Amino acid sequence: MYRIISGQWKAKRISAPKNFTVRPTTDFAKEALFSILENRYRIDFASISVLDLFAGIGSLSLEFASRACQDITAVEMNVKHAAFINSTAAELDMSLQVSVQRADVYDYLKKNRNRKTFDLIVADPPFDTDDKKYQELLSLVLNNNYLKEDGIFVLEHQSRNLLQHPNLLDTRKYGNVSFSFFKANEPAPETAEITAE
């Protein structure tokens, strides 16, 4: 079970079937994350596009939708979890806001390069993800034009995993869960010159 913290569906409790093996972001950590996005990064949820990777049962996707975000793509491999996001979004009149893609995240990122850029990307991979897979995920997101120039990529991970990357802006720790914030790659020099003219 998880709770929508703010927005249209504030305090709404979402209960997944008992046989689902999921680990939604805790209410405490989620509240902290959205506070950082709003206050530090000045994100206006109503005007951004969001890519939610490893969407699970939709804890983050539905939170964005409740806060008036109109363009959310949720990528989740588990067929039951993806169906649960779809059915819950429909029940809460969020179907037009949330597009659920059932796919392996790494395959999805390889197949959809340079198709669409996002203001914000969030990812909550399985807790047993190793450093090599985290680095692959970072590379796929940051090197394939998924983030807009001033976009932010937020990666949720175990606090004992200390992620290193040139684009790392900040890491915030909440118990055994941490959020690391990454900026988009700098534009290539030739692009910067064209823009400057």
Looking at residue 173, its pLDDT comes to 96
- The mean per-residue pLDDT over the stretch 108-135 comes to 95
Q: Which residues pair with 50 in a beta bridge?
A: 72, 120
pLDDT digits (tens, 9 = 90+) for 145-195: 999 999 999 999 999 999 999 999 999 999 999 999 999 998 877 644 444
Question: Among candidates 150, 114, 115, 156, which has minimal Cα distance to 137?
Answer: 156
What is the β-pairing status of strands 71-76 and 49-53?
parallel
Question: Among candidates 79, 104, 94, which has minimal Cα distance to 20?
Answer: 79
Q: Which two tokens stand for residue 1?
A: 């079970």
pLDDT digits (tens, 9 = 90+) for 12-60: 998 877 777 776 778 889 999 999 999 999 999 999 999 999 999 999 9
3-state secondary structure of 80: helix
**By percentage, how much of the chain surpasses pLDDT 70?**
95
What are the angstrom distances between the C-alpha of 76 and each of 79, 83, 127, 187? 8, 10, 15, 30
Is residue 62 predicted with pLDDT exceeding 80? yes
The amino acid that residue 144 corresponds to is N
Q: What is the pTM of this model?
A: 0.92
Looking at residue 190, its pLDDT comes to 60
